[in-house]
Amino acid sequence: MTYQFPENFWWGSAASGPQTEGVFAGDNKEQSIWDFWYDAAPQKFFNQVGPDKTSQFYQKYKEDIALMKATGHNSFRTSIQWSRLMANPLTGEVNQTAVAFYNQVIDELIAHHIEPFINLYHFDMPLVLQAKGGWENRDVVELYVQFAKTCFELFGDRVKKWFTHNEPIVPVEGGYLYGWHYPDKVNLKAGIQVLYHEVLASAKAIAVYHSMGLAGEIGIILNLTPTYPRDAQNEADVKAAAFVDGFFNRSFLEPSVKGYFPADMVAWAKGNDLMPQTTTEDLAVISENTVDLLGVNYYQPRRAKAKESVLESRPEGLLPEDFYDVYDMPDKKMNPYRGWEIYEKGIYDTLINLKENYGNIRCFISENGMGVEGEERFVNAQGMIEDDYRIEFVTDHLKWVHQAIQEGSNVQGYHMWTCMDNWSWLNAYKNRYGFIAVDLDNDAKRTIKKSGYWFKTVSDNNGF
């Protein structure tokens, strides 16, 4: 069987500024929370490798964009670092060296007929703003909007696809529940305030973008993790799964697409003294400024069952896990090289959910991919990584994307995570995801993997 995709389908990959660019003396980059956290607590980072050791996109972007072309990209998503673009994130003063850099990247992409998809926030709060509470602080919302407006003014003549956030639930989980991100707190109520301010910041940036009359569109990128109950016939399991879906997915999906927060989550927050501070004016902004399109990141599903263990009492207060238990399904298919579940049909279920319950909003797969630890063991005699497992992973997911399209889904592209192997937060270089290998010990030398050549044929044929 052949799998043919709609005309003008976006084929490409995703990355982010903080994971690829690096920090370079002399270019006036401000510290982000990652630069600071690595200095303060390097032991938290895998092999003590920090955000200064990236794939060097800052110096090698020309070579990288040529390699994107060689691997069939017609589009590429990255982010503009707030802490690089703004010489002073408090006053909005712009760093001209950074403007020149981002201009060159955008122009180089366009010259190669690669559509730039630009995201404005990928977990990288400027440190001076985190010192004021980061997303906990309502003032930071306005400073973000100022940053977003500056980006639209500087680059909006050429960038036609904008995104307000990548995976905004992750700073909530990472920074306020589970200790993967600075400020490394356990405080669900503060996390929900963060969630609310991220949603508000997104709506306000969308309002500004639309008011500027630029020829483009703006959306948000969400990691939508389809959530399955242990037993679909068991009411308590179904309720637990609905809670997980509500907290981790719908808290962002509903306001982004429909303009309001999910009623069940609002009731839950009220019942547990977790309501954020809101204003009528801000809620009106959220209701009036929904997204034009949606990026969907999909790696693995969540599985939930009714709470069986006793509700823990801990000094830091409640966690989402106090309202469900994780269901560790036996015999699930696992990625043997990283430990995440592989459930290809989850991508289809998510797309069909968007079709049926979210007005079939225009969307694209903005991240999907397979992280592999110790990938150098698959290098062949010619020096190429033979990542057949990745080809299989992407193929199997694309088949389900294709199926969703047959059934009317409005999905318009597929971006793999990621183009070049890159630095990943606390995991640093533990898991490699790229179409292209990066040799960290050899001046970050790039070598296309087997999957990169394969992806070129998929893109050239608009299918497989």
C-alpha–C-alpha distance, residues 244 and 173, integer Å: 13
| Smallest separation, CB 18 to ligand BGP (Å) | 9
Nearest approach, Cβ of 355 to ligand BGP (angstroms)? Answer: 24
Write phi, then psi, for 411 (nearest 5 degrees). Answer: -85, 130
**Please, which residue, 13 or 56, has the CB nearer to ligand BGP?**
13
Identity of the residue, 101 or 299, whose beta carbon is nearer to ligand BGP in the bound complex: 299
Nearer to ligand BGP by Cβ, of 251 and 431: the residue is 431
Report DSSP letters for 399-416, one per residue.
HHHHHHHHTT--EEEEEE
Question: Least distance from C-beta 366 to ligand BGP, angstroms?
Answer: 9
The catalytic residue among 235, 367, 373, 376 is 367
Instruction: Select 64 or 367, whichever has its Cβ closest to ligand BGP.
Output: 367
Give the span between the Cα atoms of 145 and 385, in whole angstroms: 42
**Residue whose C-beta lies closest to ligand BGP:** 424
Least distance from ligand BGP to the Cβ atom of residue 162, Å: 17
Measured in degrees and rounded to the nearest 5, phi and psi for residue 165 equal -150, 155
Rounded CA-CA distance 147/32 in Å is 14
Q: How far apart are CA 453 and CA 455, in angstroms?
A: 5
| 183 upstream amide cis, omega within 30 of 0 | yes
**Residue count (the chain):** 464
Give the distance from CA 170 to its chain's centroid: 9
Closest CA to 17 of 125, 169, 107: 125
CA distance 425 to 396: 27
- Indicate the angle between helix axes 188-211 and 280-288, nearest 10 degrees: 60
Shortest CA distance to 29 belongs to which of 160, 127, 130? Answer: 127
Q: Identify which of residues 19 and 95 has a Cβ nearer to ligand BGP in the complex.
A: 19
If you write DSSP's letter for every residue of 61-73 in order, what string do you get? HHHHHHHHHHTT-
Q: Can you tell me whether residue 92 is helix, strand or coil?
A: coil
The CB-of-417 to ligand BGP minimum distance in angstroms stands at 5
CA distance 251 to 32: 26
DSSP, res 349: H
Q: Which is nearer to ligand BGP, 343 or 425 (CB)?
A: 425
Q: How far is the CB of 421 from ligand BGP (least distance, A)?
A: 10
385: its two tokens? 């990584």
In angstroms, give the least distance from the CB of 223 to ligand BGP: 6
Q: Is 367 one of the annotated active-site residues of the chain?
A: yes
The Cα–Cα gap between 464 and 457 comes to 8
Instruction: Tell the smallest beta-carbon distance from residue 425 to ligand BGP (Å).
Output: 6
Select 74 or 166, whichever has its Cβ closest to ligand BGP: 166
Between 52 and 322, CB nearer to ligand BGP: 52
> Is the distance from CB of 73 to CB of 13 less than 8 angstroms?
yes
To which residue do tokens 């179904």 refer? Answer: 238
**Binding residues vs ligand BGP (CB under 6 A):** 16, 19, 166-167, 223, 367, 371, 417, 424-425, 427, 431
Greatest CA span in the chain, whole angstroms?
A: 64
Q: Which residues are catalytic?
A: 367
